[in-house]
Amino acid sequence: MPMMTADQYEASLRALNLEVYMFGKRVTNVVDDPIIRPSMNAVAKTYELAHDPAYADLMTARSHLSGKRINRFTHIHQSTDDLVKKSKMGRLLGRKTGCCFQRCVGMDALNALSIITYNIDQKHETHYNERFKRYLATVQEKDLVCDGAMTDPKGDRSLPPHRQPDPDHYLRIVEKREDGIVVRGAKAHQTGAVNSHEVIVMPTIAMGEADRDYAVSFALPSDARGIIYILGRQSCDTRKLEGGAMDQGNMLFGGHEALVVFDDVFVPWDRVFMCGEYEFAGSLVEMFAAYHRQSYACKVGVGDVLIGAAQLAAEYNGAARASHVKDKLIEMNHLNETLYCGCLACATEGKKKLSGTYAVNTLLANIHKQNVTRFPYEIARLAQDIAGGLMVTLPSQKDLDGDATGKWVQKYFKAQPGIPTADRMRILRLIENLTLGTAAVGYLTESMHGAGSPQAQRIMIGRKINMAEKKTAAMRLCGIDVKSE
């Protein structure tokens, strides 16, 4: 069964026995919980579209291991065309869901590990790459969702892992056994964690020899014994409990983040992909980060939704013909398409690595992500400007439907003739959701901090820019002897 359907995916989650907590209580039914369900719907869309002939070229690929048709989210990039299709797929799904659809991080972890495990083997004569490929074959055959778990809590950020007052603030190996290892620690900000079948753990920073026990990468079933999930809060999250679908803004889809605790969890050797090779921790982080920074093509798709919502808000408000509104919408489109240029550029400039996997251009991936930390905020500001203050002062859907209040809400929030008041309220709630509510986590905060902070990208830009080449070009044009430099 190379590709699951959306219904089969939902059934597969019901078969898991996850230990999940939210609001201080254990969640016994993760799939049907009203706060978690919208995020599962978003992941399910990645399965649904893979079976739609209109999107088959973007959503599926041919496995280099089995030759079978597989979901692209389980694919290892075999060409720059694969990298380009990855970006186009991200935009498509962002537009379809209006939120984070949660499978990119696992895809990026798989591709990074396909490169770094090969490199470790070349130096240490280990067998991680073959082990990884066997694991990958299972992921592809079962069409699994993988949670890529990189970000540790980090504790005191001025100290390396081995000097932390609490040694568990970075995930670490606490025991090596004949049949595997035992790990302890946690991974924070885990997108879509409880919608995943597998958890793929990677180190979060470059490490020295003293940090050897923290240089570990492995994969486990998401319901492995000792893994605990604590769901994070999001703005307006309890609106999903109120029964008023309109007040949610995005009525179908959403996201979630979790703290994933590893309480002395056993990992068998056949699922270990790095174990103490500390000199490769940094390169794994950089490779994963480059892939994941490209993945922010999804924000272009969400931007498409927000721009469309802003246009509709202008029309519903009767302001669409105002020149300043038209100019703001042009600026929103300019910024959004500039982001698209960046994710395509790092894909088309990708190169084949020794393992055979194609990687994005690291410099351009970081340039793209640096823009993502800025442009969605300006797009959101302009959308709020166009929407007006009613976006955050609207009464609830219950007031719209109420016997005593409905007629007044209908009367006084009516604007354009022919446009139902309810439709005007819906589009304003969507803009609120995308820029302030639960979707703002995926569109704004994730744009800032996802795949590393803005400063992490600037560091990589500084490393990858060839300044000597630029100086030489300038010297030659103005007659300075290049040899004197």
Q: Return the active site residues.
A: 100, 104, 191, 257, 292, 296, 298, 446
Cβ neighbours, 10 Å, residue 23: 10
Residue 33 phi/psi, 5-degree rounding, is: -65, 130
Convert 92-111 to b/e letters by CB count within 10 Å (16 or more is b): bbbbbbbbbbbbbbbbbbbb
State phi, psi for 187 to the nearest 5 degrees: -125, 130
Is 191 annotated as a binding-site member? yes
Binding residues are 191
Binding residues for FAD are 191
